[in-house]
Amino acid sequence: MKLITAIVPCYNEQEALPFFYDEITRVAAGLPDYNFEFLFVDDGSSDGTMEVIRGLAGKDERVRYVSFSRNFGKEAAMLAGLTEAKGDFVAVMDADLQDPPSLLPEMLSYVVEGDETGRRYESVATRRVTRKGEPVIRSFFARMFYRLINHISKTEIVDGARDFRLMSRLFVDSLLKLGEYNRFSKGLFSWVGFDTKWLEYENIERVAGETKWSFFRLLLYSFEGIVAFSTAPLALSSVAGFLFCVVAFIALAVIVVKTLVWGDPVGGWPSLACILLFSAGVQLLCMGILGQYLSKTYLEVKNRPVYIIKEKK
C-alpha cells in the first residue's frame, strides 16, 4: 500500500490541533487503500502545542512529529516536514483547517489516475479565489505584490496560491534539491516545474486560534519573495542611475552656456538644495536595494541550517 504523508506546520496551535486531527483521521478513513502518516512540525510553539501532539502520538501510531528548538518560521517548518516525510505522496497543510483535508481524495485522484483526459500531475496545488474575511488593506497589498512580482520575475507566482499542496515523491525530491537558506516556497514550487493541477476554493476562516502573520511580517515576506525570485530592482537602480547622469550632464551644459552668455547672477540655491536632497535620496534607495541582495547573499554564504530539531518521533 502506498503511503501518504500529511505535513502540518504548527506554531501555537493548541486550540486548532484537536479539530484538525479529527478531520484528517475522518478523511484518512475514507481512503482505505492508502496508509497515512501525520507529520506535525512544532515550530517552537510557546503554548501547549507539543503536549497536544505528544498526546496524539501516544494514541495513534500514524502520528509523527518534529519539534524545533525555537521558532524558525513556516518555511523552515515546511522544509523539515518535506525532509522527514516518508510518503509516496506528500501533502502540506495548515493546522487551522483553512486548507480543508476533505480536498485530499480529489487531489490524490489527479496525481494517481489523472484528469478526464488521463493526464497525470506531479503536484496538485490550491488557490483561493476570494479573500473573504481578510482585512481590506491586506488584500489590496497582497494583490499589488502578486502583480508586481509576476511582472519582474520569470518564475510565475500565482495570486491567492496557498501552500496547501499534494506532491508526488518525484516532486518532493526535486524540491529538496534546492538547498537555499532564504526559502520562498510559493516560488520554489513553481521553479521546479512539472505539471501542476490547480484547484480553487473560497477562503475559509481559521477554526480556532489566531493568524501568526502580522501585516509587517507579510511585508517582510514579500520582500523575501522579490529578492529571491527577481533581480529587477537591481537593474532598475542601474537604469535610474544612468538616467540621472544624463539629466545632470544636460543641466551642466545648460548652466555652462548660460554663465558664458549672460554672466553669473548668483541665485537658485534653493533649487540646488532640492536637487542635492533628491539625488542623495535616490542614492540611498539604490544602496538599500543593493543591501537587500547583499544581506540575503550573506545569509546564504554563512550556510547555517534552516532549522534545528530538538526532538522527533
Which parts of this chain interact with Mg ion (CB under 5 A)? Answer: 94, 96, 98, 206
Residues in the interface with ligand UDP (CB under 6 A) total: 17
CB of 17 to Mg ion, least distance (A): 13
Of 4, 5, 13, 185, the residue at the interface with ligand UDP (CB under 6 A) is: 13
Question: What is d(CA 270, CA 258) in angstroms, rounded to the nearest whole number?
Answer: 18
130 lies in the binding site for ligand UDP (CB under 6 A): no
CB of 74 to ligand UDP, least distance (A): 4
Sheet strands (E) in the chain: 2-10, 34-42, 63-68, 89-92, 123-128, 161-168, 196-201, 309-312
Residue 131 or 169 with smaller CB distance to ligand UDP: 131
Q: What is the DSSP letter of 52?
A: H
Residue 173 or 202 with smaller CB distance to Mg ion: 202
16 close to 47: Cβ distance less than 8 angstroms: no
Of 140, 198, 213, 293, the residue at the interface with ligand UDP (CB under 6 A) is: 213
CB of 77 to ligand UDP, least distance (A): 4
Q: Tell me which amino acid residue 22 is.
A: D
CB of 196 to ligand UDP, least distance (A): 20
Of 7, 9, 91, 101, the residue at the interface with ligand UDP (CB under 6 A) is: 9
Number of H helices, E strands in the chain: 10, 8
Interactions with ligand UDP, residue window 36-75 (CB under 6 A): 43, 71, 73-74
Cell numbers that stand for 37 in this block: 502518516
User: 42 has which bridge partners?
Assistant: 10, 67
Q: What is the DSSP letter of 183?
A: -
Cell numbers that stand for 43 in this block: 515550530
Cell numbers that stand for 34 in this block: 492508502
Of 5, 14, 67, 98, the residue at the interface with ligand UDP (CB under 6 A) is: 98
97 binds, among ligand UDP, Mg ion, none (CB under 5 to 8 A by kind): none
Residue 133 or 281 with smaller CB distance to ligand UDP: 133
Integer distance in angstroms from the first to the last C-alpha of the chain? 22
166 close to 104: Cβ distance less than 8 angstroms: yes
3-state SS, residue 163: strand
CB of 206 to Mg ion, least distance (A): 5
134 close to 203: Cβ distance less than 8 angstroms: yes
211 lies in the binding site for ligand UDP (CB under 6 A): yes
CB of 200 to Mg ion, least distance (A): 17
Give contact residues for ligand UDP (rule: CB under 6 A): 9-11, 13, 43, 71, 73-74, 77, 94-96, 98, 206, 211-213
